Chain A
Amino acid sequence: FPGLADVSIPQDIPVEGEITVPVGSHSPDEDYSTLDEPVKDTIMRDLKAVGKKFVHVMYPRKSSALLRDWDLWGPLVLCVSLALMLQGGSADSKDDGGPQFAEVFVIIWFGAVVITLNSKLLGGTISFFQSLCVLGYCVMPLTVAMLVCRLVLLAGAGTISFIIRLIVVGAMFGWSTLASTAFLADSQPPNRKALVVYPIFLFYFVISWMILTFTPQ
């Protein structure tokens, strides 16, 4: 290759660089194996993560840490407790009563999956399980509303109790929708925000309807 004979680096231009990869800070998980720690530490760490997410739902703020460390423990606990509290409702001989346990489960999980698919198909940047995590955690205000409704229904089932339940469920429904929208709508281009928010609205509306129409036997 005759042309390459002239290629040479002059002596007065220093060539420098680093061959070794700079050692940055390890993430905490790499410092020790989690197999060696006591079980209590493992469980407490997960519980603290779940608890932190509950606090995030109470005071919705944009937080990338919440989205990054998704987990589905919280949604599972909320879903099971909501489905359990919706049992014991009126079920007359025609079996036309409230939703069964499995129906509540299916509605919550299938609804969350469909909404996640919808937002991803519309071009959202959030990942599948992150979206499931947010939607599940934002059921928490409605679970609180269900608890309040059952307590109010212990006192009586008249018109006043209905009005109290209506106000409580309505407020919690608004809170759930706003909390989940705060997390999910930002991952969409602005033209499509309403297209993503509407199914979330419908989802929490259906759950609120199930809570509001719960009548004890």
Chain B
Amino acid sequence: IACLVMYLFAEFDDAANLLAANPDATTISIDEPVEIPKNQQSRLQEPGREEDDELLGTDDSDKTELLAGQKKSAPFWTFEYYQTFFDVDTYQASTLLQRRTVLDRIKGSVFPVPGKNFVRLYIRSNPDLYGPFWICATLVFTIAVSGNLSNFFIHLGKPTYHYVPEFRKVSIAATTIYAYAWLVPLALWGFLMWRNSKVMNIVSYSFLEIVCVYGYSLFIYIPTAILWIIPQKVVRWVLVVFSLCLSGSVLVMTFWPAVRDDNRRIAVATVATILLLHALMAVGCLAYFFDAPELDIPPPIIPAHNGTTVVTKSH
């Protein structure tokens, strides 16, 4: 893992130089405010991107033309404030370059482009809550259902096995996944804000953008959980590593620019912690919800001294 991390860092240094040489590709300038208050978020005007043409059904569509750059102007206790976080579409209905659609964001999380920052490319100034919430909900039920199915197939045929739906695991899965997808971003955001007060970073993210990244990066685990039904240890671990690489790289590419300017050790430690927590969640889900597939060889029978037979099973 250390080699993978160092390789990725080397790539980012190149990518960072590329991005620095091409200022049009970045949306961050030095005068972007570090502290982004909750009910006001200035929207950066990029040349050539018209983001307001697809606003349908939101209350802010008239206001955005009047309040230049002020998007979320409703106070946070009103319904309209939360409506601005559901300002996404299923598909593109126009030919303008749009990155606000849910399918595009999912695609961006599953196929991470090296050097391209997920937040910058897909989410900038328009984080949505639809994706993270429903991806987490789908993941909860996918893991619970797949785990149940996989256990059923593994234990099928045994005379002592009685199928149980294991419904209690649904609540455990829900608690774990929602806690991971919402509390870890909270901690990470707090940590980044704290570091920002000490070291002036070029890049900073709002809490909802971090939630967005985490939510969309969990999408790859949905097909992975379905494929975990296959009761082969090798297949499962290959899947774990593969999905960890994909979603981990999305996270690393997002957060490396935010900690790059800090003390080198703290930056590496932060990114390593992000990856470690991510791996822990994946492996933990695999270990808890999916029973270990048993080997096909018949268990050896060892006759004990007092005449009773001891049957050992290998897991």
Contact = CB atoms under 8 A, between A and B. Distances in A.
Contact of B166 (A96, A193, A199, A206): A96
9 smallest beta-carbon distances between A and B, as pairs = A123-B57, A213-B165, A121-B86, A191-B89, A194-B90, A99-B167, A189-B56, A98-B165, A96-B164
B134 interface: yes
Interface size class of B (residues with CB under 8 A): 20 to 34
Contact of A195 (B88, B138, B145): B88
A199 B138 CA distance: 9
Contact of B90 (A123, A193, A209): A193
Given A195-B130, A215-B163, A95 B89 contact: no
B141 A192 contact: no
Interface string B128-146: 0010001001100100010
A209 B89 CA distance: 29
B165 A202 contact: no
9 contacts: A96-B166, A103-B171, A118-B130, A120-B79, A121-B130, A122-B130, A189-B57, A191-B90, A199-B134
B130 A92 contact: no
Contacts of B171: 103
B90 A195 contact: yes
A82 to B, nearest CB: 14
A98 B90 contact: no
Contact of B89 (A97, A103, A192, A210): A192
A215 B164 contact: yes
B56 A195 contact: no
Contact of B167 (A97, A192, A199, A205): A97
A64 to B, nearest CB: 20
A120 B130 CA distance: 12
A202 B79 CA distance: 25
Contacts of A194: 90-91
A214 interface: yes
